[in-house]
Amino acid sequence: MVVTEYELKPQNFPRFPLDWSEIFGRKAKIVVEVGFGNGEFLTELARRHPEKDFVGFELSITSFVKAQKKFKRYNLKNVRLVKVDARFGLRELFPDSSVEKVYINFPCPWPKKRHEDRRITSYDFLQTLSAVLEMDGTVEFATDEEWYAREVLDTFESSEYFVVDVFEENFRRDVETRYERKWKSQGKKTYLIVARKVKSGIVKRLMEGENNMAHSVFEGNVTWEKLKELEGKVFKDENKIFVVKKVYRDNDYLLKVISTDEGGFQQMYYLNLSGRDGKWVLIFKEGRNMKVRVDADACIGCGVCENLCPDVFQLGDDGKAKVLQPETDLPCAKDAADSCPTGAISVEE
């Protein structure tokens, strides 16, 4: 079973930062987890606090697949996941003073000097937290590295925006994370810091305002049946002719369009249509011809590709992925290759 319904794609929204009460359909406290790993901590929090809404950031696709399965098992309604760097996501997707709490559990410490910019706890990230957290909102940071804990403690203590309420060695919380269990079972020490916001900071957002990736934003009633009726229809606009060749759907709708101008020049592209509650965002996607292959030995039959791109992939009777269109221009083929946890899918452009 592959579940994708909890993933939120920022590019499909008309404005930034996002209106989370619209996304969750209610006004509730928002809690964020940075780098949710296999999702067990986030699942437990969301189960124990149905009155709050939860947002997780991760970069690993495998983590996305595992976490969403857990959410589905408990039919959770109060959690969404975003596949972007949390430093970027917290800054661009959350308005000022909108987050009650941010958990950062056992992030990679990036111990080498030349990698220190990669640490999630950089100065810039603290600045973001000082803006997006509500007053008295907290950051909970856990690590197994003493030097890292002391560095983060020092950063919070020397910041005018935070006070440190907790610095604890070998802490215990109601819910453990996978890495916490791992380090504890190896007899390693663990450290917890809880820092509370006492002053609001200012952060400069790069994408604030209209989503300028969007071609158009509109309101109205769009249905699969109505879109399907567009297949084969021809539209004229000044000196161009457009034909809607095919309409696809997964989480969004995709219209394959061919346009021809007076000189006979043809172009193929996709229109990605996504929306909710009557608000729709239309984005152009260029079509490119790709050769798709599946390495059957590497395929574990997880079904991610079939779920993301059913017109190109299908799980066969042997439980392995089969390619239905070895040459395709469907952009979801690339998504499937990027998301394949074993790298069994290759796409050549």
> Which residues are at the interface with ligand SAM (CB under 6 A)?
34-37, 57-60, 63, 85-87, 105-108, 120, 177-180
| Minimum CB distance to ligand SAM smaller for 105 or for 328 | 105
Minimum CB distance to ligand SAM smaller for 56 or for 201: 56
What would the DSSP string read from start to end of 201-215? -----SS-EE-TT-S
Nearer to ligand SAM, 93 or 120 (CB): 120
C-beta of 189: minimal distance to ligand SAM in Å? 15
Structure tokens at 85: 């760097």
Minimum distance, C-beta of residue 40 to ligand SAM, in the bound complex (Å): 8
* Token pair of 292 as six digits: 């798709």
The least distance separating ligand SAM from the CB of residue 198, rounded to whole angstroms, comes to 26
CB of 66 to ligand SAM, least distance (A): 10
48 is in an annotated binding site: no
In the complex, the smallest distance separating the C-beta of residue 232 from ligand SAM, rounded to whole angstroms, is: 43
Q: Distance (Å, rounded) from C-alpha 104 to C-alpha 12?
A: 26
Strand partners, 192: 142, 168
**Minimum CB distance to ligand SAM smaller for 24 or for 148:** 148
Residue 112 among known ligand-binding residues: yes
Between CA 141 and CA 329 the distance in angstroms is 44
| CA 263 – CA 180 distance, rounded (Å) | 65
Chain residue whose CB lies nearest ligand SAM: 35
Is 180 annotated for ligand binding?
yes
Give the closest residue to 55 by CA, choosing from 31, 87, 71.
31
Q: In the complex, what is the shortest distance from the CB of residue 118 to ligand SAM, in angstroms, rounded to a whole number?
A: 8
| CB burial string 233-271: b at 16+ within 10 A, e below | eeeeeeeeebbbeebbeeebbbbbbeeeeeeeeeeebbb
Query: Using CA atoms, how far apart are residues 99 and 133, in angstroms rounded to an integer?
Result: 5
85 is in an annotated binding site: yes
58 is in an annotated binding site: yes
**Of 18 and 104, which CB lies nearer to ligand SAM in the complex structure?**
104
In angstroms, the Cα distances linking 77 to 25, 47, 71, 136, 225 are: 10, 10, 8, 26, 27
Q: Which is nearer to ligand SAM, 182 or 199 (CB)?
A: 182
**Binding-site entries for S-adenosyl-L-methionine:** 33, 58, 85
